[in-house]
């Protein structure tokens, strides 16, 4: 192998991967790992999971032919290698930047991204759809789906597996890189795995079956007897194989970082012509020592050039909850596989008996919390806005309808440019605004977050507290809390209320985008005041507070929010203000995401890209 030889830069199509000599695959894998480390360090992103999936992804593209064969990755954060092997190496430097390569599979980006996956546990259902569609069309194309043991904790995976058919051209690859879900461990299982990975094993197996099947009189009964004995012996040694009971031919477990072994089993699975499960075991962070030693820390990385903030809302939430839990033993915390991301690591260590990580099962998390609340506890569900969408029915049916005091702490509210549309938290205000009896808090500072959490836990009603990724804005703190925080949750003016009649325009806003409103107010040639909402629901209550702070004279009133327009704060509060005739004679407009998913088509600040920056705000104030 030539030390300076490069293959990655020559791959323009996945078919090029097949042309690389088998003995040179380790070189390709090494090149890919170095590219991943360099790029993710600079741009941020998911590193450890992609490093572990290098050989597995190479093997997939050496056996199958994308896009004719469909390759689907669960969650999608482990698809970077796939992108490199499907003609996107030249653009890989734009990973996770506006208008560049997405950090997740994206159908509009490449024909090789068969299905967009940004949330866990959806891939098997989608793969089943592809396989059934090919069957109905008479196509012999294969669908290959890679999903991890973490995604396996999501209920949708089980629902999809339950609908499998044996004759589908469907190959599911269970990539186990953390927890064990199989009894197939130990030296015996490893020996069997090695034997099954050899091509000779399958040749002998097929020859034996063919011989017995064609043996007159005794052949078929003898085959059935041997098959029955084999199943019984296998069950005794392994235990029942869940996947084979669901109609899948099971292969593995196999070392997923051994490309030759994985490739061999994939070829055999393809030759079988049946629905198969290939169980692989990979090492997160493979080939990069820091990520191997601390895979969780390198799961999702911020760009290296970014300076770390003094704090963030996630940590402020975790600290506040831990402090309140000292005073009330009924307080408990629930997360759906996001302990670190939601700031609950300290709580989990301090109160292990009151902390529950339910895995990637958001629906279960909410209804589980409802059960805790119904029996007298005070559950707090910490969850990303984009993932809360998955549990909407549970919020309505299991929490709100029964008026149970579950507190939802909604992290990553608003736009999240690096992870893109699948992780924007832009819908929660709209769908929570329609939930009867639920209170909705929107703190813009750490102190107001703690205050909202304390109040929400003290009231015997469902409540939600939403806050953005990252830290508080010092300008927002200074503008709306010049004398420090107090215990009251209310509408905060940036101006002296006694001088409200001097204003030409008022911006009504909440959350992180208040910072952009402040920029616009400073640059405007008009006198602009800003009202910061710490609470949205009930809107009728907030409308009375806002009305008391609006000038009586004609002026412009702009509702500004970092969420969708339809059903959002602007529409809801405007309607509530109109009910009390508080907007008569005023020029009213709403600035929000009018349609779409907040796609960032250019490499520029996200607010500018979606039309919510200070320049657009200024135009609305004219």
How far CA 387 is from CA of 105, 528, 613, in Å, comes to: 18, 36, 26
284 labelled catalytic: yes
- What's 150-207 look like in SS3? CHHHCHHHHHHHCCCCCCCCEEEEEEECCCCCCCCCHHHHHHHHHHHCCHHHHHHHHH
Alpha carbon 207 to chain centroid, angstroms = 47
pLDDT of residue 225: 60
Catalytic hit among 62, 106, 284, 412: 284
Catalytic hit among 83, 390, 412, 469: 390
pLDDT of residue 246: 84
pLDDT of residue 391: 94
For residue 146, count CB atoms less than 10 angstroms from its CB and return exposed for 0-12, middle for 13-18, buried for 19 or more. Answer: buried
Which tens digits make up the pLDDT trace of 487-539? 899 999 999 999 999 999 999 999 999 999 999 999 999 999 999 999 999 99
Q: For residue 406, give the DSSP letter.
A: -
Catalytic hit among 176, 263, 362, 516: 362
Whole-structure pTM value: 0.81
Whole-angstrom Cα distance, residue 232 to residue 68? Answer: 39
Q: Where are the beta strands (DSSP E) in 313-388?
A: 331-335, 355-357, 378-384
Query: Region 47-53: what's the mean pLDDT?
Result: 87
The backbone torsions φ and ψ at residue 53, rounded to the nearest 5 degrees and listed phi first, read -100, 15
pLDDT of residue 242: 75
How far CA 311 is from CA of 111, 191, 314, 319, 343, in Å, comes to: 41, 50, 8, 11, 11
Whole-angstrom Cα distance, residue 606 to residue 618? Answer: 17
Distance separating the N- and C-terminal Cα atoms of the chain: 67
Please state which of the ranges 188-192, 244-248, 324-328, 396-400 shows the lowest mean pLDDT. 188-192
* Contact yes or no for 344/356 (Cβ under 8 A): no
pLDDT band at 285 (very low <50, low <70, confident <90, very high): confident
pLDDT of residue 101: 84
Query: Region 361-365: what's the mean pLDDT?
Result: 93
Query: Region 251-255: what's the mean pLDDT?
Result: 87
390 labelled catalytic: yes
Q: What percent of the chain has pLDDT over 70?
A: 85
Query: Region 144-163: what's the mean pLDDT?
Result: 85
pLDDT of residue 136: 93
- What's 236-294 look like in SS3? HHHCCCHHHHCCCEEEEEEECCCHHHHHHHHHHHHHHCCCEEEEEECCCCCCCHHHHHC
pLDDT of residue 100: 83
In degrees to the nearest 10, what's the CA dihedral of 466, 469, 470, 475? -50
Please state which of the ranges 217-221, 334-338, 474-478, 602-606 shows the lowest mean pLDDT. 217-221
Quick one: the chain helix, strand, coil %, rounded to 5?
A: 45, 15, 40
Whole-angstrom Cα distance, residue 603 to residue 583? Answer: 38
Q: Could you count the other beta carbons within 10 Å of the beta carbon of residue 473?
A: 18
* Domains (range + CATH), the chain: 8-183+241-293 (3.40.50.970), 195-238 (no CATH), 313-466 (3.40.50.970), 495-621 (3.40.50.920)
SS3 429: helix
pLDDT of residue 179: 41
* Contact yes or no for 526/519 (Cβ under 8 A): no
Across the chain, mean pLDDT equals 86
Which tens digits make up the pLDDT trace of 2-16? 556 688 989 999 999
Whole-angstrom Cα distance, residue 514 to residue 520? Answer: 10
Which tens digits make up the pLDDT trace of 66-83? 999 999 998 778 889 999
Q: For residue 221, give the DSSP letter.
A: H
Length of the chain: 622
SS3 398: helix
5 labelled catalytic: no
Q: In what order do the strands lie in the sheet with 378-384?
A: 355-357, 331-335, 378-384, 407-411, 463-466, 439-441, 535-537
pLDDT of residue 298: 61
Query: Region 340-363: what's the mean pLDDT?
Result: 94
């Amino acid at each position: 192998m030539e030390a300076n030889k490069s293959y990655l830069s020559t791959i323009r199509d996945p078919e090029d991967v097949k042309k690389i000599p088998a003995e040179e695959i380790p070189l390709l894998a090494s090149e890919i790992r170095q590219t991943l480390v360099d790029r993710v360090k600079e741009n941020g992103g998911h590193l450890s999971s992609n490093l572990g999936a290098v050989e597995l992804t190479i093997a997939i593209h050496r056996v199958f032919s994308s896009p004719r064969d469909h390759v689907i990755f669960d969650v999608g954060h482990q698809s970077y290698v796939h992108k490199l092997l499907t003609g996107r190496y030249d653009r890989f430097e734009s990973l996770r930047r506006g208008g560049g390569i997405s950090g997740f599979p994206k159908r509009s980006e490449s024909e090789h991204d068969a299905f967009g996956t940004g949330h866990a546990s959806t891939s098997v259902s989608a793969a089943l759809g592809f396989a059934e569609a090919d069957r109905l069309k008479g196509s012999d194309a294969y669908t290959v789906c890679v999903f991890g043991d973490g995604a396996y904790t999501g209920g949708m995976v089980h629902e999809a597996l339950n609908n499998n058919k044996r004759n589908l051209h469907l190959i599911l690859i269970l990539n186990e890189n953390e927890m064990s879900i199989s009894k197939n461990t130990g030296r015996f299982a490893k020996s069997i795995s090695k034997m099954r990975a050899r091509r000779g094993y399958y040749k002998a197996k097929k020859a034996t079956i063919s011989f017995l099947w064609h043996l007159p009189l005794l052949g078929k009964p003898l085959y059935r007897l041997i098959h029955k004995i084999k199943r019984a012996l296998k069950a005794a040694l392994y235990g029942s194989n869940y996947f084979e009971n669901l109609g899948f031919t099971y292969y593995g477990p196999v070392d997923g970082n051994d490309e030759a072994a994985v490739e061999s089993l994939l070829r055999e699975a393809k030759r079988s012509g049946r629905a198969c499960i290939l169980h692989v075991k990979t090492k997160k962070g493979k080939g990069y020592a820091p990520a191997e030693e601390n895979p969780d820390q390198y799961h999702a990385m911020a760009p290296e050039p970014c300076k770390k903030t003094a704090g963030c809302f996630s940590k402020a939430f975790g600290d506040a909850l831990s402090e309140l839990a000292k005073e009330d033993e009924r307080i408990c915390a629930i997360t759906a596989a996001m302990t670190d991301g939601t700031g609950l690591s300290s709580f989990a260590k301090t109160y292990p008996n009151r902390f529950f990580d339910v895995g990637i099962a958001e629906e279960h998390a909410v209804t589980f919390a409802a059960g805790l609340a119904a029996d007298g506890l005070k559950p707090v569900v910490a969850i990303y806005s984009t993932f809360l969408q998955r549990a909407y029915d549970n919020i309505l049916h299991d929490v709100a309808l029964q008026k149970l005091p579950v507190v939802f702490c909604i992290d990553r509210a608003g736009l999240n440019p690096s992870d893109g549309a699948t992780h924007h938290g832009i819908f929660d205000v709209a769908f929570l605004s329609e939930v009867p009896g639920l209170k909705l808090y929107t703190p813009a500072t750490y102190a107001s977050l703690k205050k909202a959490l304390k109040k929400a836990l003290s009231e015997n009603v469902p409540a939600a507290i939403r806050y953005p990724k990252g830290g508080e804005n010092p300008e927002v703190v200074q503008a709306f809390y010049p004398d420090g925080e107090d215990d009251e949750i209310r509408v905060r003016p940036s101006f002296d209320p006694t001088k409200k009649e001097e204003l030409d325009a008022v911006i009504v806003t909440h959350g992180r985008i208040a910072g952009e409103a402040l920029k616009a107010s400073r640059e405007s040639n008009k006198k602009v005041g800003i009202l910061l909402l710490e609470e949205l629901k009930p809107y009728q209550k907030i409308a009375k507070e806002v009305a008391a702070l609006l000038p009586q004279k004609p002026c412009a009133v702009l509702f500004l929010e970092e969420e969708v327009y339809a059903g959002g704060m602007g529409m809801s509060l405007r309607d509530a203000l109109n009910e009390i005739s508080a907007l008569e004679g005023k020029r009213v407009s709403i600035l929000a995401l009018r349609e779409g998913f907040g796609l960032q088509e250019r490499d520029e600040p996200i607010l500018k890209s979606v039309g919510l920056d200070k320049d657009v705000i200024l135009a609305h104030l004219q």
